[in-house]
Amino acid sequence: MRPLPSRDLRKSNAQFARASERLPLGVSSTFRYWGDDRTIYVDHGKGGRVWDIDGNGYIDYRLGYGPAILGYADDRVDAAARRGMEVGGVFALSTERELIVADRIAKMVPAAEMVRFSNSGTEAVMAALRLARAYTGRDSYLLVEGAYHGLFDAAMWMANVEGWDRSANRDPEIVSYSRGIPQELKALAHLVPMNDLERLEDTFRRYGDSMAAMLIEPIQGNCCGIAASADYVRLARALCDRYGVLLIIDEVKTGFRVAKGGVQSLYGVTPDICTFAKAVANGYPISVVAGRAEVMRTFRQGGAAHGGTYTAHSVSMAAADECLRILDETPALETIARYGEALKAGISAILSRRGIAHSYAGHSSMFGLFFADTPPDNYRDWKASDYSFYDQMAHFLHDLGVICEPDSREPWFICEAHGTDPACLAETLKAVETAVDLTLEHFEAEKRA
């Protein structure tokens, strides 16, 4: 077996040891912990690349889970953000730019008749669900298995397929995926598998009259980019209309990334409420709740509460103004999609030469890679699939200077800077080829052991 790639992570390891004394797991988000000896600390980023405090450079296909739609430290957006600093920061009062950005969003997304701003994707979805409950006067709601809607109690429910008998005539148990979630809330959450039209109709027949909302990511941003079929999304819209349920399309990851009008424009389905966050301001903290004017006007005194001291911060608003202008008025999204297609084609060529079955899910700007002839189209099938090859390949890629999420559920994200960096694609494919061969050798050695 060839020598394994390695990195010098002595500074990162020392930082981890110190940080662990003050920060749980040495980080400020559990998902940034990659192991005691492999957790990295970023020194800086530029374009589609980041450098850690040890000086190791990486081509980054994680992009902070998608926000850096144009690339890190984009000169245009950062210049706008500095102009936003001159406004003064936080007033807990409104500025003129809020309407300017809201008008841009409404132009790009026809469903966004009215807009409210928040700070994170989690905040936006929390507000959207509260809004739906206030408008309908109902409490329960429907989630699609495998979806991720943020870290708040109402959204943190999943189908427990571990040990579930797939041949049994019953659904897997609904469980919370964190401790600290009040179990009394489980009665309000209904779950359905993606792309099972019969189960969707049955669930609406049973619970539709008591549900406030159905939340859906038509491209699942935390489950490998698994996509809903057009028939499934259209049926969801029709059932919501029939039962008086509000359709919430969660575009925290897909919004302004897969298309100017978001994933809803690709499916041709208009939600009652939609949420956006990651790509709105190229990494500056901001999120959006938008939707039908009649519904959105429920945000009022005596209606659904919404607010926050840092909401519509002058820096984030200025960054959003410029980022959305670029996405709306330049070929940035075409550049991103073209690079994503080239990357997938290059990876496919490497895998096909070695006779390795593979497939992709999602969109060229945020795609999941599977080592099977066809990708799963629901969480249950993904959970039953073999993702050990991917996990091991990701391990080697990090040592070879390419970052993808070590957890195979996360898609590969593309930014505009990947497409304008002349060396990016060739360097990535060279690393992928080496990582694939090392992974093949790894599993062959395991067989012999």
Own/partner long-range contacts of 339-343 (Cβ < 8 Å, ≥24 apart): 339/414, 339/418, 339/419, 339/424, 339/425, 340/364, 340/365, 340/367, 340/414, 342/425, 343/412, 343/414, 343/418, 343/425, 343/428, 343/429
The answer to whether 387 touches 368, Cβ cutoff 8 Å, is no
The answer to whether 277 touches 255, Cβ cutoff 8 Å, is yes
The answer to whether 252 touches 150, Cβ cutoff 8 Å, is yes
Decide if 103 is catalytic.
Answer: no
The DSSP letter of residue 401 is T
Tell me which of 148, 339, 379, 390 is the catalytic residue: 148
The answer to whether 410 touches 31, Cβ cutoff 8 Å, is no
Would you give the distance in Å from CA 257 to the centre of its chain? 10
Helical H runs in 190-331? 197-207, 230-243, 263-267, 293-296, 314-329
Tell me which of 52, 250, 272, 377 is the catalytic residue: 250
Query: Among all chains, which residue has been given the structure tokens 């979630």?
Result: 181
The number of helix segments (H) and strand segments (E) in the chain equals 14, 16
Q: Which candidate, 425, 226, 403, places its Cα nearest to that of 343?
A: 425
DSSP H or E run through 427: helix 424-448
Q: Starting from the edge strand earliest in sequence, which strands make up the sheet with 49-52, in order? A: 42-46, 49-52, 57-60, 402-403
Supply angle C-alpha 53, 64, 66, rounded to 5. Answer: 150
- Which residues lie closer than 8 Å to 71 by C-beta, 6 or more apart? 46, 47, 48, 282, 415, 416, 417, 418
The burial class, CB within 10 Å (0-12 / 13-18 / 19+), for 2 is exposed
Decide if 153 is catalytic.
Answer: no
Tell me which of 253, 278, 360, 387 is the catalytic residue: 278
Decide if 310 is catalytic.
Answer: no
C-alpha 262/C-alpha 433 separation (Å) is 33
The DSSP letter of residue 377 is S
Question: What is the set of active-site residues?
Answer: 148, 250, 278
